[in-house]
Amino acid sequence: MELHHLTATEAATRFRRHELSPVELLDAVIARTAATEPAINAVTEQWLDEARTAAATSEGRFARGEATGALEGIPLMLKEEQPIAGRTAEEGSLLERGHVATETHPIVDRILAAGAVVHGRTTTPEYCCAPVTHTALWGVTRNPWNTAYSPGGSSGGSGAVLAAGSTILATGSDIGGSIRIPSSFCGVVGFKPPFARVPGLAPFNSDTYCADGPMGRSVADVALLQNVISGPWAGDAASLREVATVSGEVSSLAGMRIAVCLDLGGYAVDPSVVANTLGVVSALRAAGAVVEQVELPWGPQRTLETSWPHFGAVMGPFIESIADGDPERSAQLMPYTRAFAAAAANSGDFVTGLEAESAFYRPFGELMQDYDVLICPTIATTGLAADEPCTDSDAVFAQLMTLPFNVIGRVPVLAVPSGIAPNGVPTGVQIVGRTFDDATVFRVGAALEQELRLWTDPAWWPAV
């Protein structure tokens, strides 16, 4: 396997055995970024001098046999949305161009403390409010598998650099599928933690739909990063005090009961997505699980009717505050941003929405009394155009089978690949656990990864 497509866990093993140095690995991903960026445009900035210094420091620690951090020497890119004090925080918006952050996101501090070599940041749609990644500020980010298509959004840059081999680990965030959508379209692994598992910054740390989380090229890699970024933080009263350690170790699924729902009650799922999901079902059965098909009374219309009041109370007003009633400022926003804010403004009563969210959860809660996890497709379709306008919010969200699990945001969701569609874009499934049962979704994901042997094959990755 090419160095730039190593997993973090394999790289860490080679570091400890003195078979590879952090400097060598950083050089490999920097070279890969230089080779692929003209095609995919997924990196907002690189910090090469700082990264080379950090890699040399890690190299010295390994050479001297000193104590090392959990991410020691591992190249990592950060989603630009996660601020760093003293550095720009532009959110993909012309209105934020040149803005400098005054605080650092807690997961960034934890990643640096764990010894990661942070060497760049990745693109997002404006204010992270679209499932594609293109902005007037940064241009169009493209999918390494097929550059006519989007890597997804809003963590599209992170998904793209992982698939291309421009880094080893990356961060994302998810308020409607923003980790899981690019994980599916880019053929990588991503985890939407349950609400409050990973600390965040106001106001979205208190938003039950929202979570920052890890992305990587294997289940074990994502578990490694998740264990670094999770846990309580003094700046976030919502952050859970319980520390839930997860693992990518493979174990038998014998005795485990798994539910599979192909359409979540009415999503129009492409036949190739269905076929690849059924391949996942076969693999899970081969791994020892009992898998049964079930139904859920959701579908896109009910999901949207339930979620819009929430967006209208949180994300919509946030965007409106940026425009501040100024038509000239509003005109500088991306069309999809204005469309999202307009839809959220006509979304209905927040309290009624809370009641609808509780009713929405109930059938899932009852179902999960009999099953350990639920499996379903991540996205109903096989791709969005790289420059998809996304101005019809309802039509776009009707393709995304991720949003139901933001509505019931206390559930952990691990997104893994399921295969490749005829257009060359990967497809994926979501492994959804009971509330706050993070460990079980990783157990299922690790077993599925071993059984399918798709993204563990060096031949899996696209030749950009």
As annotated, the active-site residues are 79, 154, 178
Q: How many helices (H) and strands (E) does the chain have?
A: 16, 13
SS3 187: coil
Amino acid at 267: Y
Which residue shows structure tokens 């080679």? Answer: 14
Among 164, 161, 129, which Cα is nearest to 145's? 164
CB count within 10 Å of CB 56 equals: 15
CA distances to 96, 101, 340, 383 from 330, rounded to whole Å, are 13, 22, 13, 29
Q: Which two tokens stand for residue 35?
A: 């080779």
Rounded Cα gap, residues 232 and 236, in angstroms = 8
Residues 6+ apart with CB under 8 A from 128: 81, 91, 92, 153, 154, 173, 175, 178
For residue 458, what is the DSSP state?
G
CA angle centred on 16, ends 13 and 22, rounded to 5°: 85
Class of residue 101 by CB neighbours under 10 A (exposed 0-12, middle 13-18, buried 19+)? middle
Count the helix, strand and coil residues of the chain and give each as a percent rounded to the nearest 5. 40, 15, 40
